């Protein structure tokens, strides 16, 4: 059975070879000799520029990179999806299980990077992988000298080699297509697919933007003021099942999906493109929108399911979900399932 991995890798910005700050995350899936990437960066100093996306392995003190593609870097948030097969890693000595990190290189020597081994990333160690090693070059040179002495043999060997290479390429192409078909069929049955959700994201976002344009046109024409978020909340309670998931607290919630964000005032619709929210939604398939009543008053919040971990805490804060609560009282938060949430202020 093909080796399968799926995990989240946190991306840091490196300036002058120093790790400066947490800048985003990548969802990595390795299956059947193919690696799929989904990258999200929050803000960047390289707005409008291209960043070269690469995977890397470590060998003899070097970080050897394999290009996957390029991503457009934007001032607010940057997103990318791509894939690379094991056959594209360089030569027969490179395997997908050897891959241990990601680099995004804008071109000025600084970079965004992540590694999932115990090593560090240093600029002076980074090199593009070269398939032809010295030993291989020497062997090729010796073979060339031998065939130079026998032109007839050289011609036959050349034809044979070309024919074999063509057969190998055709075979590899066919195997890749067959593997893709198997993977796509398996992913259709999976709730945690990578590519299908991304198509949903773009579809949802386009629908949201269309609704915003239509709502703006209507409001300009009628001069009507949009309902408050509390009125939207009352509508949600009438339409959806009321839940009380948090023990010991006066909290009322409803389950939400991405499309339900359109039930909120339009100033909150941008959350449909929030990378952290999308990451949580596509892992757990729901969000919470709710009201908490305290002695100080009432407040509304939007919650994203997740697990409390220190890197996750930083990412949640960066993307606007700075607080965390569990369904039951808990003394030890680290590694505990709960919800990252934000208050919905008027």
Q: Residues 186-205: pLDDT tens digits?
A: 443 333 333 333 333 334 44
Name the nearest CA neighbour of 109 among 119, 128, 129, 124: 124
Q: Which two tokens stand for residue 300?
A: 């509304």
Tell which of 131, 148, 176 closes a domain.
131
* Within-domain flag for 168: no
Query: How many CA within 13 A on the CB side of residue 278?
Result: 27
Final residue belonging to a domain, choices 131, 166, 187: 131
pLDDT digits (tens, 9 = 90+) for 280-325: 888 888 999 999 998 888 999 999 999 998 888 988 998 899 999 9
Whose structure tokens read 């008053």? 297
Residues 6+ apart with CB under 8 A from 69: 53, 80, 82
d(CA 19, CA 60): 23
For residue 97, the 8-state DSSP code is G
Domain total of the chain? 2
Give me the residue label for tokens 């990258």: 39
Residues 111, 247, single domain; the answer is no
Q: How far apart are CA 176 and CA 169, in angstroms?
A: 10
Domain match, 118 and 216 both: no
In a domain, 95, yes or no: yes
Helix boundaries (H) for the chain: 134-148, 151-188, 195-222, 229-239, 275-284, 310-318
* Adjacent-strand bridge partners of 307: 337
For residue 80, name the pLDDT band (cuts at 50, 70, 90). Answer: very high
Q: What is the pLDDT of residue 136?
A: 46
Residues 333 and 246 in one domain: yes
Looking at 102, 131, 160, the residue that finishes a domain is 131
Is 337 within 8 Å of 304 (Cβ atoms)? no
Whether pLDDT at 210 is above 60: no
Q: Is 160 part of a structural domain of the chain?
A: no
Assigned domain for 65 exists: yes
The percent of residues above 90 in pLDDT, for the chain, comes to 38
CATH of the domain at 101: 2.60.40.200
Phi-psi region of 109 (alpha: psi -120 to 50; beta: other; left: phi over 0): left
> What domain range is 270 assigned to?
196-343
With the CA atoms of 286, 25, 51 and 133 taken in that order, what torsion angle do they form, in degrees rounded to the nearest 10?
Answer: -120
The answer to whether residue 290 sits within a structural domain is yes
In a domain, 306, yes or no: yes
Please indicate, yes or no, whether residues 84 and 215 belong to a single structural domain of this protein: no
Half-sphere CA count of 314, side-chain side, radius 13 A: 11
Mean pLDDT of the chain: 78
Q: Are 320 and 276 in contact (CB under 8 A)?
A: yes
Classify residue 155: in a domain, yes or no.
Answer: no
Q: How far apart are CA 86 and CA 76, in angstroms?
A: 33
For the chain, count helices (H), then strands (E): 6, 14
Residue 331 resides in a domain: yes
Q: How does pLDDT run across 94-147, given as a tens digit for each residue? A: 889 999 999 999 989 999 999 998 889 999 999 999 875 434 434 544 455 554
């Amino acid at each position: 059975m093909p080796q399968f991995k799926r995990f989240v890798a946190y991306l840091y910005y490196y300036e002058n070879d120093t790790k400066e700050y947490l800048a985003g995350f990548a969802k990595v899936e390795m299956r059947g000799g193919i690696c799929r990437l989904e990258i999200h960066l929050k803000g960047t100093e390289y707005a409008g520029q291209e960043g070269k996306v690469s995977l890397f392995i470590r060998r003899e003190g070097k970080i050897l990179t394999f290009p996957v593609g390029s991503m457009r870097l934007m001032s607010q948030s940057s997103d990318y999806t791509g894939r690379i097969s094991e056959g594209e890693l360089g030569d027969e000595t490179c395997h997908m299980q050897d891959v241990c990190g990601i680099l995004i290189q804008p071109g000025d020597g600084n970079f965004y990077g992540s590694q999932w081994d115990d090593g560090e990333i240093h600029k002076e160690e980074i090199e593009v992988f070269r398939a032809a090693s010295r030993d291989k070059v020497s062997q090729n040179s010796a073979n060339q000298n031998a065939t130079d002495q026998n032109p007839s043999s050289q011609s036959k060997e050349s034809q044979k080699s070309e024919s074999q290479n063509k057969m190998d390429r055709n075979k590899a192409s066919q195997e890749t297509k067959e593997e893709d078909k198997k993977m796509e069929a398996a992913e259709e049955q999976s709730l945690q697919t990578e590519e299908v959700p991304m198509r949903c994201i773009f579809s949802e976002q386009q629908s949201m933007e269309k609704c915003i344009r239509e709502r703006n046109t209507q409001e300009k024409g009628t001069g009507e003021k949009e309902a408050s978020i509390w009125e939207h909340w009352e509508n949600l309670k009438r339409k959806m099942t009321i839940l009380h998931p948090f023990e010991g607290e006066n909290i009322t919630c409803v389950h939400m999906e991405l499309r339900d964000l359109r039930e909120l005032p339009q100033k909150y619709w941008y959350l449909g493109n929030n990378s952290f929210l999308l990451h949580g939604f596509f892992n757990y398939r729901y969000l919470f929108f709710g009201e908490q009543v305290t002695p100080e008053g009432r407040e509304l919040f939007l919650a994203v399911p997740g697990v409390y971990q220190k890197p996750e805490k930083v990412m949640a804060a960066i993307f606007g979900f700075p607080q965390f609560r569990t369904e039951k009282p808990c003394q030890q938060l680290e590694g505990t399932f709960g919800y990252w949430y934000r208050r919905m202020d008027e």
